[in-house]
Structure 1
């Protein structure tokens, strides 16, 4: 019996498969540089021979053995002797796995020769060769990291226990690829960071920059040593990073208090770095971003360096050069020192940059965010310009998918807008992630793929793979959720435009509106409803199928909102289709369900660093669709159909959301979570530019009457860019007429000064020309009697008691005109005779029909009248009337 007698034989390949050998191969992420499929198939048997060297990377071997065990291997025959290894490479009757590159195991060379594959010599750091054919698998990295990456590729190729035969020659394009934890807001937990480091190893990313803003020993207390318990946590992170072949970079930010010329501060900085070196850190950074360089922290710096940008550059170069000389140069094996300049976001030359260019040690890597703090695109030309203007190698700090500036949103779309040459020309890119660690993995997966092989990068395919990687069996549900939390400021290279949120829902909505206009909506409505049903079910499906409780906890508010938007959308489709077939009662019932679901979506709050906020899923798609649907339906009922959306740059205090300033109810209000600054604004978006006649704004409230904009302007715009002023604001109540012929989409109150008071807006109402005006009178007494005919179906007159004999509600127009019909929209079923004023009728009123329930649509046949009356049936339910709509001939 030979050494491999217990191993299973190679499974023969069918003729069809032989004609298409690539069909045997699973997709590997990040995308390999070179893959060659071969005819044949390799399976994992129960007994496997492993050939390793004394220096074989233990982490790579652990991954390989996990792959083998998952595929059914249970017995491992270990070989380290080179003679036996060569014999095993020749004996192809079973399966032999060679693990280790030239620096780890010389034996692997024999396996590569048997596979007729060149070794990894000459590949960049992290490069590897991986081959499998006829009972032989060989993993050979140019270094231990390369072998570890080969194991990660093997993990994917053999995920189902077998693979087509292949050879893979692979290496990273960008030397540095990873993530910088540099966002503001709630920090990641220790467990979040450990999980991230495992993820980076699995996706072949090799850098993690530790720069959380909440660590006081990084910034405010940068001189102080870490207490033992905190240092122990950092040590755990460093060990986990090392096991995953990730460089743990410690980023110390002394700029808030450092004296650049101080020997003591230099010594403190070096001592701090030494304490981290002692626990295994081999990569260091000194960020000097988000600080003032016009104000010195000590008089000695003013005396030594002077003032201005050039002086700041000289001071920073002086400090960093000392760190380079006193620490980096004295520690063999350390990585290059990194720094973040104070001017980190453009390519314009300046005295500050020219001084850094001239005086900063050339060994230091300079970090740069692109043209802008959040760069929509980064081109190779811009990258070359950055390298020239800073005069140093550039490491890009890329502010995606970071959401600390839009905390109410999740940015789950792919990494886009970076030319392939950027990864080739720069030293690397670190992505700044979201506060939500698990949710960040979708974008991190895609940026990792781009940085590994930018020439083959397909953002959409990689995004789908990222969703599948995180979602597992729940991938379909995760896809629905992620595509409705998708967009960012990043722009596609081919169009120069950002990705739009909800890329599946958008075209379905467009097709539905088009089909509705063309009077053939059934098929489009069914397709739209099918997707909206997936959104409705999304919370239950994702929570029931995704085995990742941390992700579900992070995204809970957004997930619930997607579900409510789906519900509201389904009711919107049913409402519009009911109106299409003339069923007003069903349309009104569906409208009520729509409004209720939309209200639930708007009531959700997520805690952010700026206070509680309504999460923003399906951004710029769901709410506009629902408001357009409501406006369309309201016009069908006979109402004006203008539904303004609230807009504010301020946060929200508790549950007093912006929608309350457009709900037609002066007793509810929007309340900001802080005082406005110069440029802050509150207002409305009318959805499209249209004629406007009048605006009323009511700010403040009885318990805080000074909560209004004390210094500002009331202004309007048709496009959001060019604004016209209506009046100066210095009081809580505003009323203004627009100029004749004026059109506006946006109307706002913009603060032009500073103040200590917050802002309350009870109502922000814009009138359009021709909007009918009514007066309302009647009984039973109740609340908001005027709401029964205020052109707003969302405000409700609520009677305080059941009607008695003689109780009636009277709606009076400004003048008598031919009346086509009367529509009554009730929130609670009530009984009444619907009457119109008619001098020839007994008592001056003529009955045209009955209200028995929540909806009535009664013809008036062109009778000339100016009044409608609901004569209540004594003892019926207390009326709740949303709107009485007299529809007059035009």
Structure 2
């Protein structure tokens, strides 16, 4: 087992908080570096009197005025704020402060205005019932730049989202926000050269001011690499854009060269441009922070390992004050000391970490609500900054950003499980327990091209695994089943509790489809255990009713999945996808063997699969439904080496109808070719009409089971894989649905409308003892008739059951059965079986 994962699971039940080690009555987030409580309290029901040599900014005065009763007639409390002077280098950084509360006064020493704001935020958290504890705190940040980079693909955060984020950051001592949403056309192509429209500019100006109010460095990033020309005109265009942003109040800037191909990727040209910006803009402005850049090779797996290549060129040629961002060994990865040692040597400076969590733009059908783990706590001296790339769901992202705040302020005391549980209480205090349970089962990403996974359903997973192992061997553990049922029962009310109690309506709006899905998951899980219990008791009628309820709930889950969050990349709504839903599906799929144990002609596992011969794409998942098979779109640039390919193989049960593709590139078919095959061995070129890599083939030749794109060039071919989809249908479609009644499968059925009937031929073996009729009705009586060879029919059953058993001796002369729906509006006949 992966060591990090093992340690994480081992720590699951350790809910500790080092900040509270001495006094569990007070919570401080993030945990101060040093804290000592004394006996006694100080009243805040009093005015205050400022003393000392440090003048407060308006944002700090607001905090003070909210904390103390300025209208009280009591004697004013001295609050002495002075400049911090210390030989300790940790206290000579922005944000460092000391705080001492005595019965007579509050003494605060600060390194700068930001430190004053942070000291007062700590005071705010300590205040309880109009009192403060007597305490002595020494505090400073381990990482100088801490916060988020809005660098995801998809819908950018709204203005309201960002304002809410900044207030959240200020309270938790996060000091960095980098503006870089990929789908903002004025940040990237095509409009990065143009100024923002008036309304957008006004909002940015408001954001800058709100960031200042919360002691946040608002960094505006430009992403010019998709179409930049290495000439004076474009260099000046960037300076002019930066100048315009400076006029809006921006004092921190970044240039992103990520996820591009072609001319824009040249390290020498990038370094030359960045040094030009450094000398002509950064150094000429006396109040601008160091420039930040995101390189094209921003992770180890994409980097050229050879010396004197891209990263080494940046390290040698870039001005030493320019920060270089880094995601880790891969695009999506944990943060390790070994990785930082590797990159820091190449770029000749401390890397600025861009942590791609909880960003979900490559798994948009999932919410990433799990713990923020996999972060090395020994790298304080190895990095220059740490920012998290969040989800497009701003409020939901606060769960992970809370942990980022705790981690980046105090690395050595960071404990991911404790932070995660505290985050649930902080983000949703009105329904913290329900929210925590929701988060526990909405943590994993599902299969994805980056191969990055998170633990999920940790507490119940061992129980489910033990139950399934025993069940596979033919044993049924009532004790384990009861524990699993209890877990599902606890899930059922969670969604309603969150919706009814939480005051954060924007958060509810963001996660609402998942709340609906979570409720359905709880219900289908309970019904799954009831099915197993009925099966164990050998009560087929009861088991069949549970099966029908499971099927209906799973159908509802599919409706939600196909109705909400219908983005073009990973559409749908997934919940409990790592442990709980697979458990339900396993039992549901195996129900066939219980009701029809003698049939060996079930649907075999599909052989539909991704085909490719490149290591980087081996984990890319497919998206399958009844009408198509597609490669999940990839956000980053695809670089196929000579003779490399990517494509799809469809199962023999499927017929290829159409082919849709969008491999965005102006030169896709220059020594690149689409190919088809019937057997995967012999390939033929496929002629397609396309524009900039996009096209549709409306009729695929009969028998084709493989379609791929191959690079026949002698050098790398680059493109964006936005669509690669084969339209499909069943190879052999039955038009007469009455065959489904006797096809030995409960996955198919014949649906009857109001007052319709179905006639089924009947030929009973001498060994047959009973006939079972498996239906679904709407609790309205229906009727079954037997028909003899003279076409005379007589009623043999009338009722509203779903599982009907008829003795074979009653059917000795029957040649057919007629089933009449008798007004049932949703009547389904699944199977007629001989027993």
Q: TM-score range by the shorter chain?
A: 0.7 to 0.9
- Pick which of 749-758 and 183-192 moved more: 749-758
Deviation of the 1:32 alpha carbon = 2.0
2: CA distance, partners of 1:530 / 1:696: 40
Q: 2:318 aligns with which of 330, 341, 360?
A: 360
Give 1:395 deviation, angstroms.
0.7
Q: Aligned residue for 1:831?
A: 783
- Structure 2: runs of 5+ lacking an equivalent: 1-19, 612-621, 639-644, 663-673, 687-698, 711-721
Q: Is the 8 A contact 2:531 2:542 kept in 1?
A: yes
* 1:549 and 2:505 matched: yes
Q: CA deviation at 1:124?
A: 2.9
1:706-855 pair list within 5 angstroms: 712=676, 751-753=707-709, 759-763=726-730, 784-799=737-752, 802=755, 808-810=759-761, 818-819=767-768, 822-828=771-777, 830-832=782-784, 852-855=799-802
CA gap 1:546/1:759 in 2 versus in 1, 3 angstroms: same
Cα deviation, residue 186, structure 1: 0.9
Q: Residue 41 and residue 366 in structure 1: after superposition, are their counterparts in 2 closer, same or farther (change >3 A)?
A: same
Residue equivalent to 2:30:
30
Alpha-carbon distance in 2 for matches of 1:362, 1:616: 45
Q: Which residue of 2 aligns with 1:75?
A: 72
Question: Superposition RMSD on alpha carbons, in Å?
Answer: 4.5
| SS of residue matched to 1:570 | helix
Aligned residue for 1:870? 817
Note the C-alpha offset of 1:135: 5.1
* TM-score after normalising by structure 2: 0.78
Task: Give the aligned partner of residue 399 of structure 1.
Answer: 356
Inter-partner Cα distance in structure 2 for 1:99 and 1:471: 35
1:441 to 1:101, Cα distance in 2 relative to 1, 3 A: farther
- Contact 1:787/1:795, CA 8 A, preserved across alignment: yes
1:887 and 1:97 mapped to 2: Cα distance? 91
Offset from partner CA, 1:537-592 (integer Å, 9 cap, x none): 23321111111111111112222111111121122122222222233222222222
| Contact 1:783–1:797 (CA under 8 A) maintained in structure 2 | no
Change in Cα spacing, 1:758 to 1:268, as seen in structure 2 (3 Å) is closer
Q: C-alpha displacement at 1:215, in angstroms? A: 3.0
Query: What is the rounded CA distance, in whole Å, between the counterparts of 2:823 and 2:531 in structure 1?
Result: 28
Deviations 1:628-653 (A, max 9, x none): 12133332222559678988889xxx
Alpha-carbon deviation of 1:170?
A: 1.6
Separation in 2, partners of 1:859, 1:411 = 51
SS of the counterpart of 1:615?
Answer: coil
- Indicate the larger mover: 200-209 or 793-802: 793-802
Q: Measured at CA, do residues 537 and 680 of structure 1 come closer, stay the same or move farther in structure 2, by a change above 3 Å?
A: farther
Once residues 373 and 748 of structure 2 are traced to their aligned partners in structure 1, the CA distance between those partners, rounded to angstroms, is 45
Match of 1:246 in 2: 216
Provide Cα deviations, 1:575-621, integer angstroms capped at 9, x if missing partner: 22222223322222222221111111111233455268221221233
Distance 1:99 1:121 in 2: 22
Given that 2:755 and 2:820 are in contact with CA atoms closer than 8 Å, whether structure 1 keeps it comes out as: no
Quick check: 633-642 or 252-261, which moved more? 633-642
Contact kept in structure 1, 2:364 and 2:570, CA below 8 Å: no
Provide the residue aligned with 2:284 in structure 1: 330
User: Given the alignment, which residue of 582, 585, 589 partners 2:538?
Assistant: 582
- Alignment partners' CA distance in 1, 2:254 and 2:103: 48
Aligned-pair CA distance for 1:735: 8.5
Cα deviation 1:282-324 (Å, max 9, x = unaligned):
21111122222x437xxxxxxxxxxxx7xx2221111111111
Separation (CA, whole Å) in 2 of partners of 1:191 and 1:794: 47
Aligned-partner Cα distance in 1 for 2:723–2:369? 37
Select which of 309, 313, 329 maps to 1:351: 309
The 3-state SS of whatever aligns with 2:274 is helix
Compute the displacement of 1:180 (Å).
Answer: 0.6
Q: For residue 263 of structure 2, what is the aligned residue in structure 1?
A: 295
Q: Distance in 1 between matches of 2:259 and 2:724?
A: 28
Structure of greater relative contact order (alpha carbons < 8 Å, 6+ residues apart): 2
Decide which moves more: 753-762 or 234-243: 753-762
SS of 2:412's partner is: helix
Larger mean Cα displacement after TM superposition, 825-834 or 439-448 = 825-834
Which of 477, 495, 503 does residue 458 from structure 2 map onto? 503
Q: What residue in structure 2 maps to residue 446 of structure 1?
A: 403
Name whichever of 578-587 and 237-246 sits farther off. Answer: 578-587
In structure 1, the gaps of 5 or more residues are: 1-19, 80-95, 104-108, 110-116, 297-308, 651-656, 662-668, 685-694, 716-723, 737-748, 767-774, 776-781
Per-residue displacement from partner, 1:22-73 (whole Å, max 9, x unpaired)? 24542322222222232x232535224343456124323322433446xxx8
2:146 and 2:570 map into 1 onto residues whose CA distance is 34
SS at match of 1:36: strand
Corresponding position of 1:7 = none
Matches within 5 A, 1:140-151: 140-151=109-120
**Bigger Cα Rg:** 1
Match of residue 596 from structure 2: 638
Distance 1:508 1:634 in 2: 24
